[in-house]
Amino acid sequence: MITTNYLIIGSGVAGLTFAIKIADCFPNKKVTIVTKSNADESNTKYAQGGIAIVTDETEDSYQKHIDDTLICGDGLCDVEVVKIVVTEGPKRLKELIAWGAKFDKTAKGNFDLGKEGGHSQNRVVHHKDQTGQEIERTILDQVHQKGNITVLDHHFALDLITEDNQCLGAFVLNQKTNEIITFQSDFTILATGGIGHLYGHTTNPIIATGDGIAMAFRANATIKDMEFIQFHPTALYDTSIGSKFLISEAVRGFGAYLRTKNGNRFMLDYDKRAELASRDIVSQSIDLELKKSGDECVYLDCTHLDLEAFMKHFPMIYERCKSIGVDITKDWIPVVPAQHYLCGGIVVDKNGKTAIDNLFACGECSRTGLHGANRLASNSLLEALVYSDKIYNYLVDTTLKKKDLNPILSDWKLGKKPKISSDYIVKIKTELQLLMRQNAGIVRYDSDLLKAKEKLMQWQDEVKTISKNNEICSELYELYNMITIGNLIVQQSIIRNENKGSFKKNN
């Protein structure tokens, strides 16, 4: 057994920024980060557009950012939370800069602010088109400098340990030795990110399988708003299953047009903001265009843009397009919508506390009330920065009520069990991804959702039994978690009858 004061599950922006602050504040306390892949692997690392923050109040204002967030959330945001998150942005940005993160500036020394869908102003602070990589590099570097933080990579959290509605730690699989370690912690923070791979076609990296939400659900935490799945309108078109390269919304903010194969700038027919309508509207419009035409993709036209300025802001996108033979000066970029972000998740209060004592959730796995039915672009890095700070401030003043861990330890005696074949896991995972795309995608139907529910319940029982009777491995547990998340999405979609933001049901 390993004991630690703070157990953080996940090493993206949410987990790492909390770790830095709590480790600094309590140099004699132990902070442990477990993460299931390489330490830097996370949705955070791939963030392109940037962080939405009001940095210049001559053109912009907190009120404008608040209003844009509320409009995008389609009436379902928690207004108090929106105000808190928006107004705390500048402080959190200062911290990132103090830790060493660099953001692009204009010749005059002001932030070079990008624009994305749903924003009435340019307010997106960025590092070229690699903002996430810059943030992840900076905070991981800070973490490595703290003597009281241990980072355990390739450690997969299986389940939380709870008793009497208190979290006592977690069971974690060391993926290199196959040993299951019991972590006893005073406080546990879930920072496990998103769910993209449930859909197969996603902008998310392979780690995004909803583990933290599934764990919290099994432990009886409250899970809400799972029906609000955000599809990004412009992932680079590619028929293979897996992570898709994102063409940042900031490219449309820079002036790119969406066109059908025949050249029609169709977004003008759907919304007066055209390409810069919020993501739900653009994705739903593309979906409709593709259904009407039977085409496989639409196109992003950058041919009229200033190439030198484009290459300065979007060097990675430029190079990636070039690598597949798309010269953005003359060719249009083929794009399709792909799963991108989960607006719902583990319900937390304004201190990041879940319904389980001593358990906190932060970042994409949490549901704070900021996003409502649809997240405003570049508000998620901001949310993670603000809420990791909230959890830190709360825990600075909180003392622990101790509990006895012993009764639970015996549940995880390993014993010799057979290995489940990886063919079985791959087969069910592929079928699950297809089911989610077809039955719980951009536009849903009750009849499809009911069919999906039946299938998911069947898989849930089957995989639960297999998990009990076979050797534990992370692939099997990921599958189990993905089925759990699928069930939550489908069941909450069946219950919702009003179309809101990213949720659209036709019956």
Interacting residues with ligand SIN (CB under 6 A): 48-49, 246, 248-250, 341, 377-378, 380
Closest to 363 (Cα-Cα) out of 117, 16, 7: 16
Instruction: Write down the least CB distance from residue 153 to ligand FAD, Å.
Output: 9
Encoded amino acid at 148, one letter? N
Q: In angstroms, rounded to a whole number, what is the distance separating the alpha carbons of residues 275 and 265?
A: 9
Instruction: Write down the least CB distance from residue 49 to ligand SIN, Å.
Output: 3
Indicate which of ligand FAD, ligand SIN, none lies near residue 34 (CB less than 5 to 8 Å, by partner kind). Answer: ligand FAD
- Give residues with Cβ within 8 angstroms of 62, minimum separation 6: 54, 83, 86, 87
Indicate which of ligand FAD, ligand SIN, none lies near residue 192 (CB less than 5 to 8 Å, by partner kind). Answer: ligand FAD
Residue 279 a catalytic site member: yes
Indicate which of ligand FAD, ligand SIN, none lies near residue 249 (CB less than 5 to 8 Å, by partner kind). Answer: ligand SIN
Check 92, 123, 259, 279 and give the catalytic one. Answer: 279
Closest to 241 (Cα-Cα) out of 283, 193, 196: 196
Q: In angstroms, rounded to a whole number, what is the distance separating the alpha carbons of residues 97 and 92?
A: 9
Write out the two tokens for 116. 């994305």
Beta carbon nearer to ligand FAD, 199 or 341: 341
Indicate which of ligand SIN, ligand FAD, none lies near residue 243 (CB less than 5 to 8 Å, by partner kind). Answer: none
Q: In angstroms, rounded to a whole number, what is the distance separating the alpha carbons of residues 343 and 255?
A: 27
- Per-residue three-class SS string for 366-400: EECCCCCCCCCCCCHHHHHHHHHHHHHHHHHCCCC
Instruction: Write down the least CB distance from residue 43 to ligand SIN, Å.
Output: 9
Beta carbon nearer to ligand SIN, 256 or 346: 256
Beta carbon nearer to ligand FAD, 44 or 368: 44
- CA distances (Å), 419 to each of 178, 210, 332, 471, in order? 12, 23, 48, 5
- Write out the residues near ligand FAD by the rule CB under 6 A: 9-15, 34-37, 41-44, 46-51, 131-132, 156-157, 191-194, 203-204, 207, 211-212, 246, 341, 363-364, 378-381, 384
Instruction: Write down the least CB distance from residue 286 to ligand SIN, Å.
Output: 14
Beta carbon nearer to ligand SIN, 96 or 250: 250
Indicate which of ligand SIN, ligand FAD, none lies near residue 5 (CB less than 5 to 8 Å, by partner kind). Answer: none
- Give residues with Cβ within 8 angstroms of 273, minimum separation 6: 117, 118
- CA distances (Å), 168 to each of 25, 163, 365, 402, in order? 22, 7, 20, 9
Beta carbon nearer to ligand SIN, 46 or 477: 46
Beta carbon nearer to ligand SIN, 169 or 372: 372
Q: Which residue has the closest beta carbon to ligand SIN?
A: 49
Contact 191, 362 (CB under 8 A): yes
Instruction: Write down the least CB distance from residue 143 to ligand SIN, Å.
Output: 24
Instruction: Write down the least CB distance from residue 376 to ligand SIN, Å.
Output: 8
Indicate which of ligand SIN, ligand FAD, none lies near residue 17 (CB less than 5 to 8 Å, by partner kind). Answer: none
Which element (helix H / strand E) includes 164? none
- CA distances (Å), 8 to each of 32, 40, 184, 418, in order? 6, 14, 12, 31
Catalytic residue numbers, as ranges: 279
